[in-house]
Amino acid sequence: MKTLSVLVAAAVLFGGFQLFHVGSGESAADEATPSSSFRLVANGDEGACAVTRGAAVSAGVSLLTVDANCRGLMPGIERAKFWRERDDGTVAFSANGIDPIVTFSVADGDGYESYAPASPLLSLAAASN
């Protein structure tokens, strides 16, 4: 009887772990997702550069690599080291993970479009491989 009680308790603990782990929306596959490459474009193709979203640092925050030539699109953007995705779908690039250098909202089509600062207008779309 004691063995049966231990087995039932173990099954309950395992089931509870699975319920909370699956219910959180996160999985090992999500954590192992490779970096995402994006193309940052200014004012409808006046210039472009590469941006790479790296590994997750915390909930909603990932490392960010911005090519040095992105400075030509928006001075100061090359200092961005973090990608912060908010619950409303907006994305902000920042140097410290908190204070945004540029903020994007989901675009009508595929990708994102900047809204702060208002100028220059930047679009961010997944790079084609």
pLDDT tens profile 16-62: 334 333 444 443 334 444 459 999 999 877 789 999 999 999 999 99
Instruction: Kindly report the number of other CB atoms within 10 A of residue 104's CB atom.
Output: 23
- For the chain, the domains span 1-29, 33-126
Range with top average pLDDT, 2-11, 13-22, 63-72, 104-113: 63-72
Q: Which residues have C-beta within 8 Å of that of residue 64, sequence separation ≥ 6?
A: 51, 52, 53, 54, 80, 81, 82, 83, 93
Ranges of beta strands (E only) in 7-121 are 36-42, 47-58, 61-66, 82-85, 91-94, 100-106, 112-116
- The CATH number of the structural domain formed by 33-126 is 2.40.128
User: Given CA atoms 117, 121, 126, 129 in this order, what sign does their dihedral have?
Assistant: negative
Average pLDDT, the chain: 79
Q: Are 64 and 72 in contact (CB under 8 A)?
A: no
Nearest CA to 42 out of 107, 97, 113, 109 is that of 113
